[in-house]
Amino acid sequence: MTVSGDTTTTAASTSAAAALDLLADRPLVVLTGAGLSTDSGIPDYRGPGSPNRTPMTYQEFVSGPEARRRYWARSHLGWGRMKGAEPNAGHHALTRLDPELLITQNVDGLHERAGSRSLVALHGRIADVVCLDCRATTGRAALHARLHELNPGFAERHGAAESRPDGDVDLDDTADFVVPGCADCAGILKPDVVFFGENVPLPRVERCYAAVDALAATDGALLVAGSSLTVMSGFRFVRRAARDGTPVVIVNRGTTRGDELAAYTLDVGCSEFLTALVERRTA
C-alpha cells in the first residue's frame, strides 16, 4: 500500500491519510520497537508469521555457567551478523523528523547510527558489555574478538543457525563454547541490556515520562512505530499519553496491546509511513 495524504480509495489509506493529518504539525514523541528494524534484516518477536520465541531471563542468565555459555554462544554468532546491519529508510526518516524524544525498545543501535539525537535506548545497547562484579563497561567488539579467539571455527560450524531478534541465533549445540570473564576482575560478563526479569533504570523511565507528559501541554502526539506493546516497558507510555488526552498513533504489522487507546492504528510498513510523514511535515 502506498501511504499518501491524497489517497482515500480504501479504508486503510483513508486512515493513513487522517493519521498523517493528525501528525503533520504537532510536537512528537516516538516509541519504536523491533518492527522498525525488520527492513534492516533483523527479525522481530511478534510480527505476522514470527515463530514463538522465549528470550533468556536475567534469573536464568545468573543461574550458572551453563546458561551463560548457552547465551554467549548464541549471541556471539548473532552479533557477528547484527553488527553488519544498516539503518533503513525508517531510521533515516526518524532522524529527519527529529522528535522531541525518540524512545526505542531496540538494542541494535541503528537509531544512533542513523544520527538520531534526542534518544533513550530503553533497554540498553547490545554493543556494550557490563561486568556484573566490578560494573566496568566495555565495547562489544573487544569481547567478540576474545570469543572468536577462544572458540576457533565455531562461527563457521554453525553458519546455518537462524537469526533471532535480540542479536542471537537459534542454536542448541553450545556445550563446548568457552566464555571468558571480565578482563579486569574475571567477573561475570553480561550484555548491557535489560533482560526479561530486570527493571529499566529509573532515570530512563523518568525522562520518557517527562517527554510524554509535556505533549499534553504542547498539543503534541505519541507515535508508536513497529511495536506490539506486549511488554509494559513500552506500553506504559501509551497508557500515560492516553490518560492525559494526548493522541496516539500506532503503526505496526498486526494488532497491539495499545490499539484501544489509539486514535489511529495502521497495519502498514514503518518505513513507508515514516517516509510519508517526513514528506508531509517538510512540504
**Annotated binding-site residue? 182:** yes
**Annotated binding-site residue? 131:** yes
pLDDT band at 8 (very low <50, low <70, confident <90, very high): very low
In a domain, 20, yes or no: yes
In a domain, 6, yes or no: no
In a domain, 1, yes or no: no
In a domain, 80, yes or no: yes
In a domain, 218, yes or no: yes
In a domain, 194, yes or no: yes
**Annotated binding-site residue? 185:** yes
First vs last Cα of the chain: how many Å apart? 21
Q: Is the pLDDT of residue 262 over 60?
A: yes
Report the share of the chain in percent with pLDDT over 90.
78
Q: Calculate the average pLDDT of the chain.
A: 90
**Annotated binding-site residue? 270:** no
209-258 pLDDT, tens digit per residue, is 999 999 999 999 999 999 999 999 999 999 999 999 999 999 999 999 99
**Residues carrying an active site annotation:** 123
80-135 pLDDT, tens digit per residue, is 777 888 999 999 999 999 999 999 999 999 999 999 999 999 999 999 999 999 99
Predicted TM-score (pTM) of the model is 0.89
Residue showing cell 527492513:
39
In a domain, 68, yes or no: yes
The CATH number of residue 270's host domain is 3.40.50.1220
Domain count, the chain: 1
In a domain, 4, yes or no: no
Q: Structural domain of residue 38, as residue ranges? A: 11-282
How much is the average pLDDT of 187-206? 96
